């Protein structure tokens, strides 16, 4: 059996909200398409481009900014570095001028209202998140390329068999939890140690550690920013941001001036259970309110579930013994490996598997990471992941108005709390007596995803999306 090689930096991608599947993925697809045009030496021959959005991308695309992401990608902008404060101005400029600078190099006529088509009733068989770029050249010849946003910011071009990472030979090839445990038992290494060894197939250990710490710096900045930004979320639901208000209440007048002094002030509040619980919720709310506002976030493993892992890691840093670079690296490496097992054996796309594929997977990732960092054995680490996912099985994705707001933001607080609970259960348990394995729950999750009605898979066609009478003024 071949082993898919997935790096920690595949699972944790820096990007822009609100959706990894519907924002980051299409953005990357548009970038890949413009690069394809350059490689074919026809970018300057392009006369016009039409973008077709299929299935789930069409149904919730406006709420998730799919149209915005595609335009930015076609312009050659990068989601890691683009100033999110300039998104509105950039879109207004394209809309007013009806021009687009393809790849940042070649100006073409482009009217978003006419040239981006939402095919609500059409879906391609490979994956619900599909988009096609139709190009007409100045010599009247044409070409088309189709891409699939398959979850977590991963993109697959129609017809491609593999990517370069699949060709890397890892010292510890892993597709399943059993294989991961095999290597841990054979070598005596923790999960994070195994991952670090595998990452060395791509880059030096120092580079991996620096990259992981940079991932955390983006997560931490997102938490801090979300805890200090008030107002209403965009999109028309008029959802009020709660992270900043909760932060202010919990601070209770204590002063600070940056992230580090804020963290120290949080610690001064004590270890009362309700106090800690409120902070975990605050951390998760902050991240996903930023995500809903087209802020900079990290896929963990997706944007819709981006708050769970940062919230649990921030909890570990603030209230446990996790305030060191080595602990942070250990946490994120462990989380990434568990996420990759779910991606390989099931899915991390809500359009394929419902919210169990996003919040459920992120909760399992966080639970495993916390368990290893708290001194759990390799078996307890995997047991924690299993417990967390077991109690997310069947969770649907039914975003009201197609926005990553209700119930998505609060679900991140639930996923974080479940992760901490799952970790505690695993740490106080003997894995030898467990009845359900992590591979068993991954298999069950995938079977559940296949059986789930499509209207509960990120379409806004069922569940809360059709049962909550809210009028959208902007969507």
Question: How far, CA to CA in Å, does 301 sit from each of 188, 365, 462?
Answer: 27, 9, 24
pTM: 0.93
Q: Pick the closest to residue 277 from 244, 246, 240 (CA basis).
A: 246
Question: Is the pLDDT confidence value at 161 over 80?
Answer: no
* pLDDT per position as a tens digit, 303-324: 999 999 999 999 999 999 899 9
Q: Pick the closest to residue 334 from 291, 298, 384, 286 (CA basis).
A: 384
Question: Is the pLDDT confidence value at 201 over 50?
Answer: yes
Q: Which of 125-129, 277-281, 368-372, 388-392 has the lowest mean pLDDT?
A: 125-129
Residue range 213-223: average pLDDT? 98
What's the confidence (pLDDT) of residue 473?
A: 44
Question: How far, CA to CA in Å, does 425 sit from each of 317, 398, 421, 471?
Answer: 20, 30, 6, 42
Report angle CA 445, 449, 450 to the nearest 5 degrees.
Answer: 120
Which tops the pLDDT comparison, 210 or 159? 210
What is the set of domains in the chain, with CATH numbers?
20-156 (3.30.1330.90), 168-467 (no CATH)
Whether the Cβ atoms of residue 63 and residue 398 lie closer than 8 Å to each other: no
Phi, psi of 47, rounded to the nearest 5 degrees: -100, -40
Q: Is 240 helix (H, G, I), strand (E, B) or coil?
A: strand
* pLDDT per position as a tens digit, 230-282: 999 999 999 999 999 999 999 999 999 999 999 999 999 999 999 999 999 99
What's the confidence (pLDDT) of residue 1?
A: 56
* pLDDT per position as a tens digit, 342-386: 999 999 999 999 999 999 999 999 999 999 999 999 999 999 999
Whether the Cβ atoms of residue 95 and residue 54 lie closer than 8 Å to each other: no
- What is d(CA 333, CA 331) in angstroms, rounded to the nearest whole number? 6
Question: Is the pLDDT confidence value at 165 over 60?
Answer: no
- What is d(CA 379, CA 151) in angstroms, rounded to the nearest whole number? 28
What's the confidence (pLDDT) of residue 471?
A: 59
Question: Is the pLDDT confidence value at 418 over 70?
Answer: yes
Residue range 68-87: average pLDDT? 95
Give the tokens for residue 6: 């997935």
Neighbours of 228 (CB within 10 A): 13
Q: Helix, strand, coil proportions of the chain in percent (round to 5)?
A: 55, 10, 35
What's the confidence (pLDDT) of residue 431?
A: 95
Phi, psi of 80, rounded to the nearest 5 degrees: -75, -35
* pLDDT per position as a tens digit, 6-62: 999 999 999 999 998 999 999 999 999 999 999 999 999 999 999 999 988 998 888
């Amino acid at each position: 059996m071949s082993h898919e090689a997935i790096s920690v930096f595949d699972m944790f991608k820096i990007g822009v909200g609100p959706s990894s599947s519907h924002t980051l993925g299409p953005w990357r697809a548009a970038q890949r398409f413009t690069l394809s045009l350059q490689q074919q030496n026809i970018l300057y021959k392009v006369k016009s481009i039409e973008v077709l959005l299929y299935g789930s991308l069409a149904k919730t695309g406006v709420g998730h900014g799919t149209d915005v992401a595609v335009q930015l990608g076609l312009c050659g902008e990068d989601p890691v570095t683009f100033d999110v404060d300039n998104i509105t101005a950039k879109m207004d400029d394209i809309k007013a001028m009806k021009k687009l600078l393809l790849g940042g190099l070649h100006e073409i006529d482009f009217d978003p209202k006419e040239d981006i088509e939402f095919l609500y009733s059409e879906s391609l068989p490979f994956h619900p998140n599909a988009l096609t770029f139709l190009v007409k050249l100045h010599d009247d010849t044409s070409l088309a390329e189709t891409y699939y946003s398959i979850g977590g910011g991963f993109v697959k071009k129609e017809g491609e068999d593999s990517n370069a990472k699949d060709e890397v030979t890892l010292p510890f090839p892993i597709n399943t939890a059993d294989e991961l445990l095999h290597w841990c038992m054979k070598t005596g290494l923790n999960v994070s140690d195994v991952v670090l060894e595998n990452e060395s197939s791509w880059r030096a250990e120092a580079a991996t550690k620096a990259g992981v710490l940079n991932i955390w710096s983006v997560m931490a900045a997102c938490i801090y920013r979300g805890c200090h930004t008030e107002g209403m979320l965009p999109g028309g639901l008029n959802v009020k941001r709660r992270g900043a208000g909760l932060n202010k209440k919990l601070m209770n007048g204590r002063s600070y001036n940056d992230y580090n002094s804020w963290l120290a002030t949080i610690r001064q509040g004590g270890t009362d259970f309700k106090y800690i619980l409120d902070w975990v919720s605050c951390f998760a709310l902050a991240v996903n309110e930023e995500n809903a506002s087209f802020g900079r976030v990290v896929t963990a493993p997706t944007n819709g579930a981006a708050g769970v892992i940062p919230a649990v890691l921030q909890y570990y840093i603030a209230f446990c013994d996790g305030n060191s670079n080595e602990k942070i690296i250990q946490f994120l490496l462990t989380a990434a490996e568990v996420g990759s097992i779910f991606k390989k054996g099931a899915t991390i796309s809500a359009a394929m598997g419902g919210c169990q594929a996003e919040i459920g997977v992120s909760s399992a990732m966080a639970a495993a990471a916390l368990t290893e960092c708290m001194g759990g054995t390799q078996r307890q680490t995997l047991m924690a992941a299993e417990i967390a996912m077991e109690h997310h099985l069947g969770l649907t994705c039914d975003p009201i108005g197609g926005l990553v707001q209700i119930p998505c933001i609060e679900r991140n607080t639930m996923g974080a709390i479940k992760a901490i609970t799952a970790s505690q259960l695993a740490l106080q348990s003997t894995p030898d007596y467990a009845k359900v394995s992590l591979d068993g729950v991954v298999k069950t999750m995938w079977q559940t995803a296949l059986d789930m009605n499509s209207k509960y898979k990120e379409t806004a066609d069922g569940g809360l999306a059709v049962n909550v009478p809210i009028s959208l003024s902007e969507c």
